[in-house]
Amino acid sequence: MTDIINPVLVLGSLAAAFGVILAIASKVFFVPTDPKVAQLQNVLPGANCGACGYPGCSGLANALAAGKAPVNACSIGGQKVADLVADILGADSADIDKEVAVVLCQGDCDKAKDKYIYEGIQDCRISDKLSDGQKSCSYGCLGCGTCRDVCQFDAIDMINGIAYIDREKCTACRKCVEVCPKHIIEMVPYDNHVAVKCKSEDPGKVVRGNCEIGCIGCKICVKNCPEDAFSFENNLAKINYEKCTNCLVCVEKCPTKCINLMVEEESDNIAI
């Protein structure tokens, strides 16, 4: 019987001793926490996407409580979360300029030519290493779906070799922007309706040979924009969204339709 009782007594004594030590240690090394941190974590979306620049929502909550981050730091939470954060911190709320990611390329399998057939790993970062990708246009979407794979919000689909972003699902987390090796995904103001969906800096003749729907540098948009919202750099038209009023003249005038709508518009004169 002693062979059983002695080990039980020894283990019980050790457990009690370690329990006392841990209890004392928890008191000695106790670090007080700001109760606002828990409140902030409860209102943050919990996506842990890192779009705010902090390591997850807990990192942002600590930064907010310490006054190191603005109340509107969480882009995916939108205005609602910004208002809740401001209320918890007793601070003034701040407006969020809502943005959405847009793929600036329309060169799908029917409109863009290929240099070769790519049958490797479906990762744009790998495909890009092989002679700038399979497309004749070295600026275009590679179509492997790496942006779709990193999107936590199911906002990206691959259709006929091109990535398409659902603006209503996009939370502006910028993961797709960061991962795209061609840098053809950019953030634009949500309230703007048009985009130059081409990133090719090749001369117009080269663009025509590579893609049916690329910017050919005709400058018609620059000449016809009533708000002077267009500039022309490196053979490519660019929109100044601070000047753009969504008049859609550029969409109507563009001969290749590379300037296109980001939202559906009811117009008989516009080819969407």
- Go through the domains of the chain in sequence order and give each one's CATH number: 35-89 (1.10.15.40), 99-261 (3.30.70.20)
Distance CA 268, CA 95 (A): 36
Contact between residue 132 and residue 118 where contact means Cβ atoms under 8 Å apart? no
Q: In terms of Cα–Cα distance, which of 54, 103, 102, 104 is closest to 75? A: 54
Q: Given this model, what pLDDT does residue 28 score?
A: 66
pTM confidence score: 0.78
At 143, list the tokens: 């179509």
Distance CA 235, CA 111 (A): 20
Contact between residue 164 and residue 156 where contact means Cβ atoms under 8 Å apart? yes
Q: Which residues of 109-135 are buried (b: 16+ CB within 10 A; e: fewer)?
A: eebbeeeeebeeeebbebbbeeebbbb
Beta strand 99-103 with 185-189 is: antiparallel
At 100, list the tokens: 């959405």
Distance CA 31, CA 129 (A): 49
Strand partners, 238: 231
Strand partners, 162: 159
Distance of CA 214 to the CA centre of its chain: 24
Distance CA 247, CA 210 (A): 30
Q: In terms of Cα–Cα distance, which of 105, 97, 152, 99 is closest to 124? A: 105
- pLDDT tens, residue order, the chain (272 aa): 666 777 777 777 778 877 788 777 766 665 556 788 888 888 898 888 888 888 889 899 999 988 888 989 888 888 899 999 999 988 888 888 889 999 999 999 999 999 999 988 999 999 999 999 999 999 999 999 999 999 999 999 999 999 999 999 999 999 999 999 999 999 999 999 999 999 999 999 999 999 999 999 999 999 999 999 999 999 999 999 999 999 999 999 999 999 998 865 433 433 33
